[in-house]
Amino acid sequence: MNRIKEVLESKGISQTWLAKQLGKSFCMVNAYACNRRQPNLELLFEIAKILEVDVKELIESKEEK
């Protein structure tokens, strides 16, 4: 499970904007954000870079911190 959706919401960033930055379809980014699919490790690092967060922010739940 990832926290992409939570990080996007906390930063006020839309899934559409992230999809454009990644060169992916909205449907694919939405699948990642809703945990229907998981991005590969390389893509997860790219998402973290775009969102300017540590990759751990995208994978750790608040309970794990």
pTM confidence score: 0.89
Spatial CB neighbours of 59, under 8 Å, sequence gap ≥ 6: 2, 3, 44
Let me know if domain 4-53 sits in CATH 1.20.120.430.
no
pLDDT in 10s for each residue of the chain, 65 residues = 899 999 999 999 999 999 999 999 999 999 999 999 999 999 999 999 999 999 999 998 766 55
Q: Is 23 left (phi over 0), alpha (psi -120 to 50) or beta?
A: left
Position 13 scores a pLDDT of: 97
